[in-house]
Amino acid sequence: MLLKNGNKWESPAMRVCYLQNTLKSSRIGIIISKETGKAVIRNKLKRTVREYFREKIAHLKPHFDVLIKLKSKKAPILMKQFEETIGKWIKNLKK
């Protein structure tokens, strides 16, 4: 439902799909391709994204369901772009 009915925001590093929910909290889903690296790298990226979500996005009101698909195949570059891109998305979301 989120992919069909949600709003989309895209950058070279990632695609973000989001939809307002009626719950008392925001939720996140993360998609990372196996091409990004081995499981250890992918899991580290997921942990980093979840922590960023908890700090920056989870407190936003209204609450959202958010799906983040990381597109880059190079993990170090990806994390540098991630914070910039999510920061731009949050500013866009607040408008």
- Residue 15 carries which side chain, given as an amino acid letter? R
Q: What is the pTM of this model?
A: 0.77
In angstroms, rounded to a whole number, what is the distance separating the alpha carbons of residues 63 and 45?
Answer: 23
Are 19 and 6 in contact by the 8 Å Cβ rule? The answer is yes
Please enumerate in sequence order all residues whose Cβ is within 8 A of that of 86, keeping only pairs 6 or more positions apart, or say none. Answer: 16, 52, 56, 57
In angstroms, rounded to a whole number, what is the distance separating the alpha carbons of residues 89 and 91?
Answer: 5
pLDDT at 78 over 70: no
Pick the CATH number of 2-85 from 3.40.50.11030, 3.30.2140.20, 3.40.50.300, 3.30.230.10: 3.30.230.10
pLDDT at 55 over 70: yes
Tokens of 26: 């925001």
